[in-house]
A = this chain, B = another copy of it.
Amino acid sequence: MAIEMFDLAGGDEALRFSPYCWRTRMALAHKGLDVATVPVRFGEKHKIEFSGQKLVPVIRDGDKTVSDSWAIAEYLDSAYADRPALFPAGSKALTSFVRHWTQTRLSLPLMRVMLMDIYETIDPADRDYFRTSREQRFGKKLEEMMAPEEGRTAFNAELAPAREVLKEAPFLNGDAPAFADYCLFGIFMFARGVSPRARTLLDATDTVYAWRERMLDLHNGLARNAPGKGA
């Protein structure tokens, strides 16, 4: 039976743009596991009430429920140990470094590029919740957070370590992708999901650009074939 995955959805239910859900989607494909996704809009948290918390992604594998993209990856490596590893032996702490780097250094500059694009992507019924929660978090109006040029410049500056590694190896993990790659890739799938600006986020000569192309092609083009405003 396919694993159920509860996945953040936009006003157009086909648009899936959560960076954390994309980590999980790619992780399931990496493991070669069948998946049936269940769209969850911001206003549909009741769909994941059974998980005992309020955030996607959540997976249900038979009678096992796991939430949080990192915990899901750990579960998959443990439950499906005979399939390609998401955390190759001895690499978990360094993978976590890349995870935290994406969350602490890349998210904010990207918000400055495309916060209003998210607002327009989500279901109209979700917009008040989104505006109130984000304006509280940032201490500013959504519109005041926007500074696309500065955001793009800062985002590209922060990508420097990935840019250098990708001059040495095809993937952040080395010769083959692993969860570290999916952590960064989630950021780009978020951008691709919500914004036409995703197309111009990177220079075409950037090693990160070439890597993103390789990531889009993985697992039979799973990510490339996903609907997105920046596709």
| Chain A residues within CB distance 8 Å of chain B | 88-98, 100-101, 103-105, 158, 160-162, 164-165, 168-169, 171-174, 180
Contacts and interface: CB of A to CB of B under 8 A. Distances in A.
Given A91-B91, A105-B158, A97 B174 contact: no
Contacts of A160: 100-101, 104-105
A104 B174 contact: no
Contacts of A97: 94, 97-98, 161-162, 165, 172, 180
Contacts of A165: 93, 96-97, 100
A139 to B, nearest CB: 17
Contacts of A169: 93, 96
Nearest to A102: B161
Contacts of A172: 93-94, 97
Contacts of A162: 97
A109 B38 CA distance: 45
A90 B88 contact: yes
A104 B165 CA distance: 12
Contacts of A103: 164
A189 to B, nearest CB: 20
Given A100-B164, A104-B164, A94 B180 contact: yes
Contacts of A91: 88, 90-91, 94
A90 B95 CA distance: 11
Interface centre among A95, A96, A158, A169 (most CB of B within 10 A): A96
Interface centre among A97, A101, A104, A180 (most CB of B within 10 A): A97
